[in-house]
Homo-oligomer: A and B are copies of this chain.
Amino acid sequence: MSALTSAIDILRCFSTSRPDLSFADVQALTGKPKSSTSRLLRSLRDCGLLEQDPNSRRYRPGLLTFELGRLHRAHDDLIATAERELREVCTRTGHTGYIAVLDGYQQVVLRIVPGSNPLRVVNPPGQRTPAIITSNGRAMLARLSDAEIRARVPLDYPKVPANSPQNFEQLIARLNEIRRTGVSDAADEAIEGVGSQGFALANGETGELIGIAISYSVQATTEIERAIVRRELGAMAEKLRRMTGDPLGQPVELRAGLAS
């Protein structure tokens, strides 16, 4: 294992639920000997990837990660376009919008568009969630081949909420339904009482894949309102797919033509 790999292993210990760690935390989480942990933490601190609170001596991501994180948005083309459209839909419907990307079998929230409805934002940007328990996460997975999905989902299928697919077969069934209907939704999964609908958008040139969702309180919305969201999302998906050259946006004959 290279020095860089070990360093990354340490960095990956930090998360929204564990934004700062003590020496002992890091040692426990990485399972490395004290000496290695000590040296590595010092290097990371010295180079700015980590900071150490002079008081509590705990470590947290440093100034350099802040600077680099700010640059990440270069990603823009696809995301910015999607965000603009999403923003419009959110002001129209009052619900909260999310844009996320896939990383392994998890998704990471990139952008949030708060709605006017009083549903607190529960997933700040940077938040990680298993993609199999969200509407946009499953929409993204549905765009991958079954083989690729199998490679991403851990062999030891994760423990998920009751409403989510409980095993690999259920997951594939659910993804097939998304592929067939083009609609993905979720209710009472990641968060009790919260539902969402989502779709996946791919950049036609790069294949870059993002998931877009609108979430709302299940109790506080009627079936009619949710149908409106579905229509809005459908229109948005169609428009964005044309704009970004997403192959799913192409009529079937044309797609067939491209494949040859």
Chain A residues packing against B (C-beta within 8 Å)? 2-5, 7-8, 11-12, 14-16, 19-20, 43-44, 47-49, 51, 53-55, 60-72, 74-75, 101, 103, 108, 110, 124-126, 128, 205-208
Contact = CB atoms under 8 A, between A and B. Distances in A.
Number of copies: 2
Given A4-B4, A43-B4, A74-B60, A126 B67 contact: yes
A101 B207 contact: no
A19 B125 CA distance: 20
A62 B72 contact: yes
A49 B103 CA distance: 13
Nearest to A20: B74
B3 A4 contact: yes
A108 B74 contact: no
A34 to B, nearest CB: 19
Contact of A48 (B15, B16, B51, B103): B103
A33 to B, nearest CB: 18
